[in-house]
Amino acid sequence: MQRSVKPKLNLLVALWCCLATAKAQDTPALTEKQLTTKLWEAVGGHANWDNARYFMFSCVGGRHSFAQGERKYLWDKKTGNCRFDGVTTDDEAITVLFNIESSEGTVFINEVALENPRITEDIIAEITEEFNKDAQLLFLPTILEGNQASYHIIGEKLVGAQRFTVMEIENKRTSFEDTVRGQLYIDSQTGRIHQWRPHNDSYGYIIDNYKAIGSGLVLPTRFTGTDPTVSITYPIAAALINIEGQKFSEP
């Protein structure tokens, strides 16, 4: 009796597995429009992103040559005004007040304004590049922002035991005035990005932490690079309702 029951149980288990696999295969893949909707839902909604104006964030890590340690930013998404606070590789406190669109601004070293226009211009250009690299990761879920984004689904990839939809994307002008191109590995159920592989880079990032930053928004704050030297975290990430106006005019 026991010998006949065991084969039957094995057969039932095998049939159940086949049915489950068939059901998963029959589940229709998301269209590009549905997937982009999922992406915006995961970040908190397109409307919340549109309505948010001020962002404060800091970051540690990554490949940066100008500043050391924690880099701090205050960004007005509406005007493009930005404030950077950090420490140079010469151990000097630096504050840069600039506009990411016009590249105009003022540089303060130890709270004293630089008076050399050429050096000021060079520093602003370098800090703008730093901001672009840091903003690109933190605001990665909003990569579809604007009317210059092009994207298409190129397939699915199995990472460990989980399957992700892979989307190839390029945006020639993001909300932070940068060009972004690469591949997103997206959880089609939640809309969250699991991996980011920038175009023309030999490394990629695994995203393993998301944080509610206020104003209904949720953003990724920890990126582990396949090359450890590019890993980056964001200890501070917040959407603010109001800020003091002098933050963009005084050190």
Mean pLDDT, consecutive 10-residue stretches, the chain (251 aa), reads 46 43 49 94 96 97 86 96 95 96 95 96 94 94 90 94 95 84 96 95 93 98 95 97 93 93
Query: What pLDDT does residue 176 have?
Result: 77
pLDDT value of residue 24: 39
pTM of the model: 0.86
State residue 157's pLDDT score.
94
pLDDT for the residue numbered 28: 53
Q: Which of 224, 138, 143 is nearest to 182 (CA)?
A: 143
pLDDT on residue 178: 79
pLDDT value at residue 65: 72
CB-based contacts of 98, cutoff 8 Å, min separation 6? 81, 82, 84, 104, 105, 106, 124, 127, 128
The pLDDT, as a whole number, for residue 184 is 97
The domains located in the chain, with CATH, are: 30-248 (2.50.20)
The whole-number pLDDT of residue 21 equals 41
